[in-house]
Amino acid sequence: MEEAPYVRAGANLARGAGFVVPVEGWDRVFQPSYPLLIAGASLLPGTDIEFKARLVSSLTQAALVIPVFLLANHLYGRPAGILAGTLAAIHPLLILYERLARL
């Protein structure tokens, strides 16, 4: 399977080639922060850039639960914060995106 364009952009950033995406139109679809995180993860030992991209995706999805909990906790109280954090953790789209990243 071919690498996703954002993985290629992250690899290009890590090599010093800049934010270059060889697929027309993709530079308008996503923000450069994700490829920047992938480029940073490419400094970790190992050569599998796709694994590192999945690692970045997994960590950011897991970290999403914390601000969701804190925001709901601040606005509506602790029970709402726990519920919102739990719902963010088990949201079907986030689970689907994680499974798609493993393909």
- Domain tally for the chain? 1
Closest CA to 10 of 97, 24, 18: 18
Q: Which amino acid is at 86?
A: T
Residues 36, 13 contacting (CB under 8 angstroms): yes
Res. 52: pLDDT tops 60: yes
* Banded pLDDT at 72 (limits 50, 70, 90): very high
Write down the pTM of the prediction: 0.66
Q: Which amino acid is at 31?
A: Q
Domain around 97: 5-102
| CA angle (68, 71, 76) in 5-degree steps | 115
Res. 2: pLDDT tops 60: no
Give the separation between CA 92 and CA 6, rounded to whole angstroms: 22
